[in-house]
Amino acid sequence: MNSDIQLAAASGGGCHIFSGCGFPAPGLQDFDFKPIFSIGSFHFTKPILLALICAAAVIVFFWAAFRKPKIVPRGMQNLGEVALFGVRDQILRPSLGKKGDSYLPFLTAMFFFIYFMNVLEIIPIAQFPVPSRVGFAWSLALIVYVTYLYIGIKNQGLGGYFKNMIPHDVPWWIYPILIPIEFARYIFIQPFTLGIRLFANMFAGHLLLLIFTLATWYLASLSIGLLFAATSFVMVLGVTLLEALIQLLQAFIFTTLTATYIADSLEAGH
């Protein structure tokens, strides 16, 4: 991570405040990583490794919880049931209702994968939220996009899906405004905002944490600087708590909107 290089260079030269060097401001370079290994032009970087670790963690968690399920749950199964029923009652039932229970595995996997990826930001050693590399957010949004388009067209037919986008009990002169807006919403805006909401939240959070962490180091010169550094460190703790909330919230929002979009695709098909 470029911040490691900055810190190494800074510590080698003792680059703190009051010694004539500028603040090593975080920026886009802190989101690029040197590849761990490369196969041709495919570079295996730290975000890819973290995403694979998260996927494995989700699989291992739910496999361990429901390996030998008992009627009266014990141990890991308790946690797995809390997780599963939490997703079902808070995310799935409000949008899809009881008949949407078949989407529970999809939504559970989505929620926990995104949450584990997000929470890697505040876990030591990893300390990088994987969706802050925009490709990861776009891939998840693409999965949701293809899913709800497929469900919509399968349930309502190709023409029926586009016809049901537009409510029918509006005055005729609204249609020239309504049709482009509704079409753009379902085809362009929903997947775009779904992906970029996750990406931008994680990107901004990581940047914020970097600013205060680097500032704590930079301000820690052996004088009044230590007081500045302590204040900056308090901000690091505050931002970490804020990020913990935002990470859970963003995973919840992504999954809730997925359920809503699937419900929209199912609902007009009767």
Partner 1 sequence: MLDLATQALAAGTTTGVTGSLKVFGAVAYGLAAIGPGVGIGLIFGHAIEAMARQPEATGRITQYMWIGFALAEALALIGLVVPFIFSGG
Where do the DSSP E strands lie in 46-196?
A: none
Q: Give the separation between CA 31 and CA 207, rounded to whole angstroms.
A: 9
Which residue stretch of 77-85, 100-108, 111-119, 190-198 sits at the interface with partner 1 (rule: CB under 8 A)?
190-198
Nearer to partner 1, 59 or 241 (CB): 241
Q: Give, as ranges, the residues between 96 and 155 that touch partner 1 (CB under 8 A).
A: none
Interface with partner 1 includes 93 (CB under 8 A)? no
Interface with partner 1 includes 162 (CB under 8 A)? no
Q: Give the separation between CA 97 and CA 92, rounded to whole angstroms.
A: 7
Nearer to partner 1, 156 or 256 (CB): 256
| The dihedral sign for the CA sequence 169, 171, 174, 180 | positive
Q: Applying CB under 8 A, which of residues 204, 224, 226, 230 lies at the interface with partner 1?
A: 204
Q: Give, as ranges, the residues between 29 and 68 that touch partner 1 (CB under 8 A).
A: 29
H helices of 66-103, in order, are: 76-87, 93-96
Nearest C-alpha neighbor of 16 from the set 245, 256, 232, 235: 232
Q: Give the separation between CA 203 and CA 136, rounded to whole angstroms.
A: 12
CA dihedral 158, 159, 162, 167 (to 10 degrees): -140
Q: Exposed, middle or buried: residue 131 (CB in 10 Å: 0-12, 13-18, 19+)?
A: buried
Which residue stretch of 12-20, 46-54, 195-203, 228-236 sits at the interface with partner 1 (rule: CB under 8 A)?
195-203
Tell me how many residues contact partner 1 (CB under 8 A): 18
Beta bridge partners of 39: 42
Structure-block tokens of residue 202: 């994680």
Nearer to partner 1, 165 or 259 (CB): 259
Looking at this protein, which amino acid is placed at residue 95? S
Q: Give the separation between CA 105 and CA 113, rounded to whole angstroms.
A: 12
Interface with partner 1 includes 197 (CB under 8 A)? yes
Which residue stretch of 25-33, 148-156, 166-174, 180-188 sits at the interface with partner 1 (rule: CB under 8 A)?
25-33
Nearer to partner 1, 77 or 247 (CB): 247
Shortest Å, Cβ 160 to partner 1: 28
Interface with partner 1 includes 203 (CB under 8 A)? yes
Is the Cβ–Cβ distance between 131 and 31 less than 8 Å? no
Q: Give the separation between CA 86 and CA 72, rounded to whole angstroms.
A: 18
Contacts of 153 (CB under 8 A, 6+ apart): 161
Shortest Å, Cβ 107 to partner 1: 15
Which residue stretch of 102-110, 140-148, 150-158, 200-208 sits at the interface with partner 1 (rule: CB under 8 A)?
200-208
Interface with partner 1 includes 25 (CB under 8 A)? no
Q: Applying CB under 8 A, which of residues 21, 252, 264, 268 lies at the interface with partner 1?
A: 252
Which residue stretch of 1-9, 56-64, 189-197, 222-230 sits at the interface with partner 1 (rule: CB under 8 A)?
189-197
Q: Which residues of the chain form contacts with partner 1 (CB under 8 A)?
A: 27-29, 90, 94, 193, 196-197, 199-201, 203-204, 249-250, 252-253, 256
